[in-house]
């Protein structure tokens, strides 16, 4: 991909860290798309949700054909289309007690709530403490 028009503000060759996106819903999926188009070459994607029909209208990255796929799988397939050299790791669900050592580089906290949700999944406060 040619990033010539953005090199005066961001040169992707100078950015050598992985980017962790925790949550691939409305915010995280859009952030992933923007970061790949900026030229980020390594993403660690944290999400264990599966795409449902109600996700498609408000989560910009996904397509109707992605319904039923894990969000990480759908994101990988779509984002790889923008950068074939892109390195993506499926990190699963984020647990600050276990995974905080994996958060080197940039962290995008894109979870829907500050506290744990009704299913016991971590919220943004847990990510903040882990970082």
**Tokens found for residue 48:** 């264990």
**Tokens found for residue 46:** 């944290």
CA 55/CA 100 separation, integer angstroms: 28
Instruction: Give pTM, 2 decimals.
Output: 0.85
What is the residue-level pLDDT of the chain in tens, covering all 131 positions? Answer: 777 788 888 888 898 999 999 999 999 999 999 999 999 999 999 998 899 999 999 999 999 999 999 999 999 999 999 988 899 998 887 776 667 777 888 989 887 766 666 666 666 666 766 66
Let me know if 30 is exposed, middle or buried by CB neighbors in 10 A (0-12, 13-18, 19+): middle
């Amino acid at each position: 991909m040619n990033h010539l028009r953005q090199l005066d503000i961001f040169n992707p060759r100078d950015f050598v860290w992985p980017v962790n996106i925790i949550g691939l819903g409305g915010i995280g999926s859009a952030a992933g798309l923007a970061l790949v188009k900026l030229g980020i070459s390594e993403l660690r994607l944290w999400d264990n949700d599966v795409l449902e029909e109600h996700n498609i209208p408000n989560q910009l990255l996904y397509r109707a054909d992605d319904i039923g796929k894990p969000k990480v799988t759908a994101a990988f397939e779509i984002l790889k289309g923008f950068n074939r050299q892109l390195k993506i790791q499926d990190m699963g669900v984020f647990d600050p007690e276990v995974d905080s050592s994996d958060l080197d580089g940039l962290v995008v906290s894109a979870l829907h709530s500050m506290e744990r949700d009704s299913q016991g999944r971590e919220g943004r406060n847990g990510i903040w403490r882990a970082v």
